[in-house]
Amino acid sequence: MSIQVLLVDDHTILRMALRVLLAREPDIKVVADVDRGSEALRLAQELAPEVVVMDIGMPGMDGIDATRQLLASVPGVKVLALSTHLERHFIVQMLEAGAGGYVVKSAEGDELLRGIRAVAQGRTYLCAEAASVMVDSMRQKTPAQEANGERLGRREREVLALLAEGKTSQEIAAKLHIATGTVIAHRRNISRKLGLHSVAELTKYAIREGLTSS
C-alpha cells in the first residue's frame, strides 16, 4: 500500500517539484496539493490522507493553526512540517501543534522522503538541520530556562512577544481580542514560570528565544 500524501504549500512551483520528486517513489502517492490551510482541512476530511506535508507561512490560516485543526478533525492523519524557517520557536510550535516531524526546504530531497515514511509509521522525524538547532538550543539553556521555558503555552508566548515589542496590557488585549485582565493574568504566569519579573528581563528572554524580531 502506498502512503497517501496531501501537499500544502502556497508556492505552485514548489508543489509541482514535490509532485515530481514523490512520483518516483513506489511507496508514496500524492492524492492532492493545495495552496492554503483552509483548503487542506476540507480535502483532508474528504480524502483522509495518511500524511499531510504542511508549509508554515501561508496566507490566511498558517500551518501551525492548520495542523492543530487538522489533527483535531481528521482521525489518524499525520503532519510533516516543510518550511523555510529554521528558527527554534517555529520548530517547537509545529511540534506542539501535533506535527510528527519537521524538514526545512533547503534540506536534501531524501530528508523529505525519510520524514514522510517516519511520520506515517508514527515516529517523530527532524531533518539534520532542525535537529541541530534543537540540540544547540538545549545546550545553551540555563537550568532555570530548562526547567521553565518550555512550559509557556502558545497564548503566553504571544503575550510575551507583544510585551517585548513595547505593547501595554491594554494594547495586547486589543491585539489578541482578549480581556485586559486575561493579559495581566498571562503576564503574572509568565513571570512565575520563567522566574523573570521586570519588563527588561522578559524582553531579553523573548529576543533570545526568537519570539520577537526586535
Q: Structural domain of residue 193, as residue ranges?
A: 142-208
**Do 118 and 186 have their domain in common?**
no
| Per-residue pLDDT band at 126 (split at 50, 70, 90) | very high
**Do 50 and 101 have their domain in common?**
yes
3-state secondary structure at position 4: strand
pLDDT at 213 (0 to 100): 53
In this structure, the dihedral spanned by the alpha carbons of residues 91, 150, 145 and 158, taken in order and rounded to 10 degrees, is 80
**Do 128 and 155 have their domain in common?**
no
Phi–psi pair at 182, nearest 5 degrees: -65, -40
In a domain, 185, yes or no: yes
Give the total number of structural domains in the chain.
Answer: 2
- Give the pLDDT mean for 163-181: 89
In a domain, 214, yes or no: no
| Per-residue pLDDT band at 141 (split at 50, 70, 90) | low
| Per-residue pLDDT band at 18 (split at 50, 70, 90) | very high
| Per-residue pLDDT band at 172 (split at 50, 70, 90) | very high
| H or E stretch covering 206 | helix 199-208
3-state secondary structure at position 51: strand
* Of 118, 135, 152, the domain-final residue: 135
| pLDDT (tens digit per residue) in 30-46 | 999 999 999 999 999 99
- CATH code: domain of residue 190: 1.10.10.10
pLDDT at 139 (0 to 100): 63
* Of 84, 109, 135, the domain-final residue: 135
Of residues 175 and 139, the one with the higher pLDDT is 175
In a domain, 45, yes or no: yes
Q: How far apart are CA 193 and CA 197, in angstroms?
A: 10
Q: How far is CA 5 from CA 41, 61, 84, 116, 204, in A?
A: 13, 20, 20, 8, 41
| pLDDT (tens digit per residue) in 46-65 | 999 999 999 998 888 889 99
Q: Global pTM?
A: 0.67
| Per-residue pLDDT band at 120 (split at 50, 70, 90) | very high
Of residues 61 and 25, the one with the higher pLDDT is 25
pLDDT at 166 (0 to 100): 85
Q: How far apart are CA 74 and CA 49, in angstroms?
A: 9
| Per-residue pLDDT band at 197 (split at 50, 70, 90) | confident
Q: How far apart are CA 104 and CA 62, in angstroms?
A: 16
pLDDT at 142 (0 to 100): 52
In a domain, 213, yes or no: no
* Rg of the chain on CA atoms, in Å: 19
Mean pLDDT of all residues belonging to the chain:
87
Tell me: pLDDT of 134 over 90.
no
